[in-house]
Structure 1
Amino acid sequence: MGKNRLEAFSDGVLAIIITIMVLELKIPEGKGIEALLLIFPTFLSYILSFIYVGIYWNNHHHLLHTLQKVTGPVLWANHHLLFWLSLVPFASGWMGANPSAKVPAALYGIVLLMASIAYHVLQKMIINAQQRSSTLKQAIGNDTKGKVSMLVYLTASGLAIIQPWIAQALYVILAMLWLIPDRRIENMLYSTEKDGKTIK
């Protein structure tokens, strides 16, 4: 299988995930501003989840640029990532409908944690497929940012049982940290002209 087909399939799944999320925004029954306020938590949850899916799409795009061949482990690791991302609309909708509830906030964090782990596994499978010549390994190094993010997701999920708003605040903070696409891979793959010198 060529990597273009894998990328096209992944793009299609992520597009469907976003579509499902927006369909969760039900039309208010009333005609006044108070009707909109009733769905405001769900709307905020949708915005946060849209940002997360967008982050994964951006970084997944860069990740697949390093892929030289699609192996079986890479294929299944990619499916594993898409599985957890496909649960984002469910977790997002439940948390949005119950913004002060503990379990929905914890579940949202668990889904984000598992998606983060799945992305890390996909990175490992690509590196293993590339072996010693791994461009991805050179680009991400120890992937400190990714590992710290997993730890924060885990911590936030636990804190949700105590105070859901603390967990939700941590989810927002992590989204802001990842909002700018990961440039490590892009910087490794492409060179730019600056002050007459080529910088890798």
Structure 2
Amino acid sequence: MEKETGRIEAFSDGVFSIAVTLLVLELHVPEVKEGANPIRLLEDLKLQWPGYIAFIISFFSIFVIWVNHHKIFKQIYKRNTGLMFANGLILFLVSLVSYPSALLARFYMTDSRQLSVTIYTGLFLVINLAFNLLWEQASRDKKLLRPGISDVAIKQLRNNYLYGFPTYLAAFIISFFYPDFALVICVLLWIFWAASSKKITFTESSIT
């Protein structure tokens, strides 16, 4: 079967690349005079640590999203309108990641910490819903999928994202009370997604 999704994947990769690039724009050089005391510069750099954390978390979140997006499209050979719009929703949400990341960097050490984390976790909750929608659109008609993909693999991929939803929802709710713990939950979910991708059986005859 000829693969019809090449242009979708190429466009998607471009959006992911731009989203990662936008994150870097939130790393600012301290506003100190040229030739200033290095101790002063070091102190100013230390004050920006929430921005570094926000960048690291957001970069690896986009990376994990891209890995899962690639994993899904390895199994999708044909396209329809519903699938293209579901994919477009994911790309739209990924392009927004830099904004809540900037909020985290700027307001994490203020009284607005809780709100910034809630917005951040809320975005990833919606991204998880978008992934569930994408796979539902793809697997609804097995003719869109790679020849030979097993029913077990279809179910495993579906469960992989369905299991993420209640966890992201928990992180979103917890962010109202314990924002630091909510961020930890998000990080643990990314680790889970990275680890679980190796345990999926893609064909009727092979088990990985």
Which of 29, 46, 66 is the equivalent residue of 2:55? 46
- Secondary structure at the counterpart of residue 70 of structure 1: coil
Give ranges in structure 1 of 5+ residues lacking alignment.
192-197
Q: Does 2:155 align with 1:146?
A: no
Q: Kindly indicate whether the alpha-carbon contact (under 8 Å) linking 1:91 and 1:104 is maintained by their aligned counterparts in 2.
A: yes
Which of 116, 120, 125 is the equivalent residue of 1:108? 120
- Secondary structure at the counterpart of residue 179 of structure 1: helix
Letter aligned with residue 124 of structure 1: E
Larger Rg: 2
Instruction: Note the 1:143-182 alignment, pairs <5 A.
Output: 143-180=158-195, 182=197
TM superposition shift of 1:176:
2.2
Cα 1:145/1:181, change in 2 over 3 Å: closer
Letter aligned with residue 6 of structure 2: N
Return the alpha-carbon distance in structure 1 between the equivalents of residues 57 and 181 of structure 2. Answer: 15
Provide Cα deviations, 1:104-160, integer angstroms capped at 9, x if missing partner: 100101100000110111001111232597737531415434223211111111111
Instruction: Note the 1:21-100 alignment, pairs <5 A.
Output: 21-30=23-32, 31=38, 32-100=41-109
Q: Kindly indicate whether the alpha-carbon contact (under 8 Å) linking 2:168 and 2:186 is maintained by their aligned counterparts in 1.
A: yes
Indicate the residue corresponding to 2:22 in structure 1. Answer: 20
Return the TM-score normalized by structure 2: 0.83
Equivalenced residues, count: 193
- Secondary structure at the counterpart of residue 202 of structure 2: helix
Cα 1:190/1:129, change in 2 over 3 Å: closer
Indicate the residue corresponding to 2:130 in structure 1. Answer: 118
Return the alpha-carbon distance in structure 2 between the equivalents of residues 199 and 128 of structure 1. Answer: 23
Q: Does 2:7 align with 1:5?
A: yes
Cα 1:82/1:184, change in 2 over 3 Å: farther
Aligned-residue CA RMSD (Å) = 2.5
- Secondary structure at the counterpart of residue 182 of structure 1: helix
Return the alpha-carbon distance in structure 2 between the equivalents of residues 23 and 190 of structure 1. Answer: 46
Cα 1:114/1:199, change in 2 over 3 Å: closer
Indicate the residue corresponding to 2:35 in structure 1. Answer: none
Indicate the residue corresponding to 1:194 in structure 2. Answer: none
After the TM superposition, list the runs of 4 or more consecutive aligned residues in structure 1 that deviate by more than 3 angstroms.
131-134, 142-145
Return the alpha-carbon distance in structure 2 between the equivalents of residues 132 and 66 of structure 1. Answer: 9
Q: Kindly indicate whether the alpha-carbon contact (under 8 Å) linking 2:76 and 2:144 is maintained by their aligned counterparts in 1.
A: no
